[in-house]
């Protein structure tokens, strides 16, 4: 890791100072999200974001070979008892996540529990990159399931109660007014699929709050959103998700994926 972090530091210099990869997008996103912050504060967040961003890639590379014993010391999971309770009651658990911190740390979750954990994903266009992603995410028992197949899978009578990870802060192609909320002072559309699937399958819904304790060390806290999704109103689950995501971002503003053109539309 010392070697990989050294490479990451050099990469940071190139990306931040020389190339300026999507720097204009990042500065604009951070400025609009935190209008109360001064110029110096904005640029401090932007700089630290790039430092963390390249470090995450170094950690992902090491993730291909790092021993489980080592990861067990680096990733702390809090309140997994809540998930155990839902699973034992016969309910699936929809675990909503944001692009906060090194979200790839969640690949280690199956190693910590006795039930299946599925990650909903969209295959990458590059076969090589997709193959590497699958290898990295499934190394500790994570079961990857394509976004187009998740509904059929979770509603199957043959499937046992399990956890389904949804990274739910991406930009949807279709605007649905029932799923438009205020995120970081900006009107933002969200995917409706996560909530609709939770309600249809009568699942419990949680939020996984990811923070960085120290460099390369993370804490993942399980926060309840709703124990019985079928009893909620339209938009209620997503609204709570947005609130928890906002708290997560504000706690560590440099940790979110600011290079994403979240408000392009």
Q: Which of 62-76, 101-115, 204-218 has the highest mean pLDDT?
A: 204-218
The tens digit of pLDDT for each residue in 234-245 reads: 999 999 999 999
Q: What's the pLDDT at 26?
A: 96
Contact between 165 and 117 under an 8 Å Cβ cutoff? The reply is yes
* Count of CA atoms in the C-beta half-sphere (13 A) of 45: 25
The tens digit of pLDDT for each residue in 188-220 reads: 999 999 999 999 999 999 999 999 999 999 999
What ranges in the chain are assigned the alpha helix state H? Answer: 2-12, 23-33, 39-62, 68-74, 80-88, 127-138, 150-154, 193-200, 236-251
Q: Mean pLDDT over residues 136-159, rounded? A: 86
For the chain, what are the domain ranges? Answer: 2-62, 68-255
Residues 209, 251: Cα–Cα separation, whole Å: 10
Contact between 97 and 123 under an 8 Å Cβ cutoff? The reply is no
- Is a pLDDT exceeding 80 seen at residue 158? no
Contact between 201 and 193 under an 8 Å Cβ cutoff? The reply is no
Q: What's the pLDDT at 30?
A: 97
Task: Give percent above pLDDT 90 in the chain.
Answer: 76
């Amino acid at each position: 890791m010392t070697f990989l972090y050294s490479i990451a530091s050099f990469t940071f210099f190139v990306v931040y100072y020389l190339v300026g990869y999507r720097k204009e997008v990042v500065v604009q996103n951070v400025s609009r999200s935190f209008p109360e912050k001064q110029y110096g504060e904005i640029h401090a967040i932007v700089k630290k974001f790039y430092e963390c961003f390249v470090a995450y890639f170094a950690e992902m590379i090491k993730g291909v070979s790092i021993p489980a014993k080592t990861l067990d010391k680096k990733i702390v999971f809090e309140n997994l008892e809540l998930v155990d309770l839902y699973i034992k009651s016969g309910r699936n658990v929809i675990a909503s996540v944001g692009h906060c911190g090194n979200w790839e740390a969640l690949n280690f979750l199956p190693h910590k529990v006795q039930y299946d954990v599925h990650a909903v994903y969209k295959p990458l266009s590059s076969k090589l990159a997709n193959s590497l992603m699958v290898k990295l995410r499934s190394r500790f028992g994570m079961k990857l399931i394509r976004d187009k197949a998740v509904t059929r899978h979770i509603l199957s009578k043959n499937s046992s109660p399990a956890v389904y990870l949804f990274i739910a802060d991406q930009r949807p192609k279709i605007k649905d007014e029932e799923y438009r909320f205020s995120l970081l002072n900006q009107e933002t559309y969200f995917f409706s699929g996560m909530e609709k699937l939770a309600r249809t399958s009568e699942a419990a819904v949680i939020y996984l709050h990811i923070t960085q304790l120290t460099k390369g060390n993370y804490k993942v806290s399980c926060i309840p959103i709703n124990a019985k999704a079928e009893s909620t109103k339209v938009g209620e689950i997503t609204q709570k998700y947005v609130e928890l995501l906002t708290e997560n971002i504000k706690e560590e503003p440099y940790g979110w994926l600011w290079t994403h053109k979240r408000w392009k539309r």
